[in-house]
C-alpha cells in the first residue's frame, strides 16, 4: 500500500487514500491497513486520489493463481472497454448491456460516484447534470472468480 501511495504522490497527487480487500473469497470490504497484512488468493487494491482538485478512484483485482489471472485479465479488458464506451447519461443501459457480453459473469452490484462538496466521492442516485467526471465501481464474479473494478468515466 505504501508503494502505491508513494507512486501517486510522486506523480503529483494532493491526497491519496489506499485500501485493500485482502481476501475476496471471504469479503468484498476494503480496509485501510497499516503494517503488513497477509493477502489471500484473490485480493483487490483501491486507490482514491485527488489531483488538481478532482477526485478519482481506481480498483484493481489481483490473484496468486495463474488460472484466476486469465479470468481477471479478461474482465479487466472488458471493464476498460466499458469505461471507454460509457456515457454518463446512458450508464444504466451500458452496464446492463455490457455485462451480458461477458460470458460467465454474475454481477454483485455497481454504483457511480462523483465529488460532492468537501467529500472526496459520494454515491449518486443518477448521473450528475453537470460535466463532473464520475467513477464507476462494479463488483462481479467472472468465471467464478470474484472481481472488483473501478475507473473514471470522463465528463460528457
Strands 105-116 and 119-123: antiparallel
Query: How do residues 51-73 score in pLDDT, each as one tens digit?
Result: 887 888 999 999 999 999 999 99
| 92 pLDDT more than 70 | no
Q: How many domains does the chain have?
A: 1
- In the structure grid, which three cell numbers stand for residue 80, read together? 476498460
| 88 pLDDT more than 50 | no
* Domain carrying residue 32: 2-153
For 36-48, b/e burial (b = at least 16 CB within 10 A) is eeebeebbbbbbb
Query: How do residues 105-152 score in pLDDT, each as one tens digit?
Result: 888 888 888 876 667 788 888 766 667 778 899 999 998 999 999 998
Q: Is the pTM of this model over 0.75?
A: yes
Q: Which of 10-24, 92-106, 121-135 has the largest mean confidence?
A: 10-24
What pLDDT score was predicted for residue 21? 95
As a whole number of angstroms, the distance between CA 132 and CA 103 comes to 32
Amino acid at each position: 500500500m505504501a508503494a502505491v501511495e508513494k507512486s501517486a504522490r510522486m506523480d503529483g497527487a494532493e491526497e491519496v487514500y489506499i485500501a485493500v480487500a485482502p481476501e475476496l473469497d471471504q469479503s468484498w470490504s476494503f480496509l485501510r491497513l497499516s503494517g503488513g497484512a497477509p493477502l489471500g488468493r484473490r485480493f483487490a487494491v483501491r486507490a482514491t486520489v485527488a489531483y488538481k482538485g478532482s477526485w478519482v478512484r481506481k480498483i484493481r483485482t489481483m490473484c496468486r493463481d495463474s488460472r484466476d489471472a486469465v479470468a481477471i485479465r479478461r474482465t479487466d479488458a472488458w471493464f476498460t472497454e466499458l469505461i471507454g464506451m460509457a456515457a454518463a447519461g446512458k450508464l444504466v443501459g451500458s452496464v446492463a448491456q455490457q455485462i451480458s457480453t461477458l460470458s460467465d459473469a454474475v454481477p454483485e452490484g455497481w454504483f457511480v460516484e462523483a465529488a460532492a462538496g468537501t467529500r472526496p466521492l459520494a454515491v449518486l442516485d443518477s448521473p450528475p447534470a453537470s460535466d463532473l467526471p464520475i467513477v464507476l465501481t462494479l463488483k462481479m464474479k467472472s468465471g467464478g472468480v470474484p472481481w472488483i473494478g473501478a475507473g473514471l468515466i470522463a465528463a460528457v
